[in-house]
Amino acid sequence: MRNKIAVEEHYAGAETLADSQRYGGGYWADTLTRLPDFETKRLPAMDRAGIARTVLSLNAPAVQAIPDPARAIETARAANDALAAIVARHPDRFSAVAALPMQDAEAAARELRRCVTELGFKGALVNGFTVSADGSAPIYYDLAQFQGFWAEVAALDVPFYLHPRDALPPDSRMYEGHAWLRGSVWGFATETATHALRLMCSGLFDSHPGLQIVLGHLGEQIPYDIWRIQHRLQFVPNVPAQRKLGSYLRENFHVTTSGNFCTESLRLALSVMGPARVMFAVDYPFEAHDQAADWFDAAEIDEPVRLQIGRENARRLFRLPE
């Protein structure tokens, strides 16, 4: 398929580049050269894969891992300004979503408004929870202090991409002796799915029914488990959510194919969420354009559905040009 749009594609500047170093050897050496690059490697790889446009976002955990709110605000603003300059060089190929300093909810709302109204950004991508001021505890976005932030996201009517990060060390003891299960192997999905379920259960989407959240990796396993989650939750008292979680999943969430190039999983996501809520993504440079595109272009799905996933859903949600 030609003219695909890929919606979870990362970059890094000098200040956050090392945040993505998880693996040694050739994998990291190659990724190191691709994260900050746009013209030399990224655009030719997009062309070979039939990708017309990518939605760029800052790497992880980046801003979310900075305990000092003032520095987080400065880092987010600088990263967004740098990304705006990159998009300005190639407006026909790149769009952007904002990095946000969630350490300060009001500052995050202001930065989102600036990015959307002044820089032309299409939404936000936040790398999971934010750390407390002393760096010791995670702060999740269902907490009361973020009510005003979510009101601003709703008012701007832009999508919010909840991207993974690893749990903090005190919350990672289940991986002791099995560190290989952390990160993208397993830990990312567990952490991000739990955060997304917190948002669902909190009543956030009852207060803001138009909010749209994006999850990568075909939904961080939530589409697979939503029936049982919902089934067992009915026996738990005092859950703030006013509706079944499956309705929030189908009305307030979208999923992408980033880093999950499995046709059986794609079909499951389609059956649970419907074809209007699934989008193509690569997760570049942590995944390869050619592998993602070769799989997607050959996946056994109906051609109208392929067109929706490959381009039309992203164009509509992110308000991208034709």
Would you write out the chain's pLDDT as a tens digit for each of its 322 residues? 999 999 999 999 878 877 777 655 566 777 888 898 999 999 999 999 999 999 999 999 999 999 999 999 999 999 999 999 999 999 999 999 999 999 999 999 999 999 999 999 999 999 999 999 998 999 999 999 999 999 999 999 999 999 999 999 999 999 999 999 999 999 999 999 999 999 999 999 999 999 999 999 999 999 999 999 999 999 999 999 999 999 999 999 999 999 999 999 999 999 999 999 999 999 999 999 999 999 999 999 999 999 999 999 999 999 999 8
**Residue 74 is assigned to a structural domain of this protein:** yes
Q: Which structure tokens are listed for 122?
A: 């299409």
**Residue 99 is assigned to a structural domain of this protein:** yes
H or E element, residue 53: strand 51-58
**Residue 233 is assigned to a structural domain of this protein:** yes
- DSSP assignment of 252-284 equals HEEEE-TT---HHHHHHHHHHH-GGGEE----T
Distance set, CA 112 to CA 66, 121, 160, 242 (Å): 18, 9, 10, 28
**Residue 209 is assigned to a structural domain of this protein:** yes
Write down the catalytic residue from 19, 142, 166, 283.
Answer: 283
**What is the number of domains present in the chain?**
1
Is residue 182 within 8 A of residue 172, CB to CB? The reply is yes
Which residue type sits at 26?
Answer: G
Q: Which structure tokens are listed for 283?
A: 């997760």
Nearest residue to 130 via CA among 172, 96, 101, 161: 101
**Residue 42 is assigned to a structural domain of this protein:** yes
pLDDT at 27: 66
pLDDT at 32: 82
pTM: 0.96
**Residue 322 is assigned to a structural domain of this protein:** no
Ranges assigned E (strand) in the chain:
4-11, 51-58, 94-96, 124-127, 130-131, 138-139, 160-163, 213-215, 253-256, 278-279
**Residue 294 is assigned to a structural domain of this protein:** yes
The CATH number given to whatever domain includes residue 263 is: 3.20.20.140
**Residue 98 is assigned to a structural domain of this protein:** yes
Nearest residue to 14 via CA among 77, 98, 82, 72: 82
Give the residue numbers spanning the domain of 257.
4-317
pLDDT at 111: 98
157 is catalytic: no
Residue 66 CA to residue 89 CA, distance in Å, equals 29
